Copies of this chain bind each other. A is one copy, B any other.
Amino acid sequence: MPPHSHGPASILALLEHEGTHPLRGVFQMIAFERGQLLAQPDDADYIFVIRTGCLRAFLLAFDRELSLAYLRRGDMFSTHTRLQMQAGEPTQLFIAKRIAVEQVSTSHPALQHALIHGLAKVLGQTMTLLEDLAFHHARGRIARYIVRSAAHAGIGLQRGQVVPLALGMEEMAALLGTTRQTVSTEFNTMIREGAFARERRGSLRLGDVTLLKNWARGETLRGG
Is there contact, CB below 8 Å, between A123 and B124? Answer: no
Residue in B124, B130, B221 whose CB lies within 8 Å of A133: B130
Asked whether any CB of chain B lies closer than 8 Å to the CB of A113, the reply is yes
Distance A40 CA – B140 CA, assembled complex (angstroms) = 27
Q: Which of A100-130 contact B (CB under 8 A)?
A: 102, 105-106, 109, 112-113, 115-116, 119-120, 122-124, 126-127, 129-130
Chain B residue numbers with a CB within 8 Å of A179 are: 223
Is there contact, CB below 8 Å, between B177 and A124? Answer: no
0 or 1 for each of A44-65: is its CB under 8 Å from B? (1 = yes): 0000000000000001011010
> What's the nearest-Cβ distance from chain B to residue A162, in Å?
29
Copies of this chain: 2
User: Given A64-B135, A133-B133, does the pair A116, B127 have CB atoms closer than 8 Å?
Assistant: no
Between-chain CB contacts (< 8 Å), 23 pairs: A59-B130, A59-B134, A59-B135, A61-B131, A61-B221, A62-B135, A62-B221, A64-B135, A64-B222, A66-B130, A66-B135, A78-B120, A80-B123, A82-B124, A106-B109, A109-B112, A115-B116, A116-B119, A119-B123, A130-B133, A133-B134, A133-B177, A134-B177
